[in-house]
């Protein structure tokens, strides 16, 4: 092979490799979500399960506080109905959040839960939650949304109070992103949870 031909082959191969790596960057997105689903990392929109045998530990009482936030000037009002509850680990608790759309247009939102202290997060099992699906509120619609959860009795003994906080994000351009957002959110929500 002449020098030029050898150069062209190698140049072609390397150019192809760099284009391939550009594609690989995009492939990281589905890989990331698949890996998260398989390993159970980062699954915010999936209902947790609690063992059927779970029983309240009446000898212990912890305080659960509820918090609510709106992101990006979302024109909604969003509040927990009760600021906090006292509960026993293992006790199934149901509470409600009130949300109203104060604008003249229909808006779709997604609530994301977070916990304080962070280390307590794995012990809060949400059996039913408005955060498992997006919520579409028509103009000036008001809605009462439930969340049912149980705090695992294995909660470390030094935790006496925890907080459950929700932030509502607007799902921008709802219809156009549906297709894009779909692989990330919808299939990971079991039908059971979605129908609640």
Number of helices and strands in the chain (H, E): 3, 9
Range 62-91, binding other proteins (CB under 8 A): 71-72
First to last CA, the chain: 69
Contact between 173 and other proteins by CB under 8 A: the answer reads yes
CA atoms within 13 A on the CB side of 93: 24
- Greatest alpha-carbon pair distance for the chain in Å reads 85
Q: Compute the least distance from the CB of residue 71 to other proteins, in Å.
A: 7
Our finding on whether 139 is near other proteins (CB under 8 A) is no
Quick one: which segment of 13-21, 53-61, 138-146, 156-164 binds other proteins (CB under 8 A)? 13-21
Identify the residue among 46, 85, 127, 181 touching other proteins (CB under 8 A): 181
Nearest residue to 92 via CA among 133, 49, 41: 49
Number of residues that bind other proteins (CB under 8 A): 38
Going 141 to 126 to 164 to 91, the CA torsion angle's sign is positive
The answer to whether 90 and 153 have CB atoms below 8 angstroms apart is: yes
User: Which lies closer to other proteins via its Cβ, residue 61 or residue 103?
Assistant: 103
Binding site for other proteins (CB under 8 A): 3, 6-7, 10-11, 14-15, 17-26, 28-29, 32, 41-42, 71-72, 110, 112, 169-173, 176-177, 180-182, 184-185
């Amino acid at each position: 092979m002449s020098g030029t031909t050898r150069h062209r082959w190698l140049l072609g191969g390397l150019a192809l490799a760099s284009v391939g790596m550009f594609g690989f960057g995009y492939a990281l997105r589905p890989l990331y979500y698949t890996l998260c689903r398989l390993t159970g990392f980062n699954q915010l929109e999936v209902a947790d399960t609690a063992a059927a045998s779970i029983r309240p530990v009446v000898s212990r009482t912890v305080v659960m506080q509820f918090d609510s936030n709106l992101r990006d000037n979302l024109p909604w009002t969003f509040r927990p109905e009760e600021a906090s509850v006292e509960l026993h680990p293992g006790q199934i608790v149901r509470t409600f959040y009130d949300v109203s759309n104060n604008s003249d247009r229909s808006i779709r939102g997604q609530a994301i839960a977070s916990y304080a202290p962070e280390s307590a997060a794995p012990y809060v099992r949400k059996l039913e939650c408005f955060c498992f699906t997006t919520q579409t509120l028509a103009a000036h619609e008001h809605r009462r949304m439930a969340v049912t959860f149980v705090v695992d009795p294995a909660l470390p003994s030094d935790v006496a109070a925890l907080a459950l906080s929700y932030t509502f994000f607007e799902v921008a351009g709802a219809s156009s992103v549906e297709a894009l957002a779909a692989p990330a959110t919808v299939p990971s929500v079991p039908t059971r949870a979605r129908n609640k």
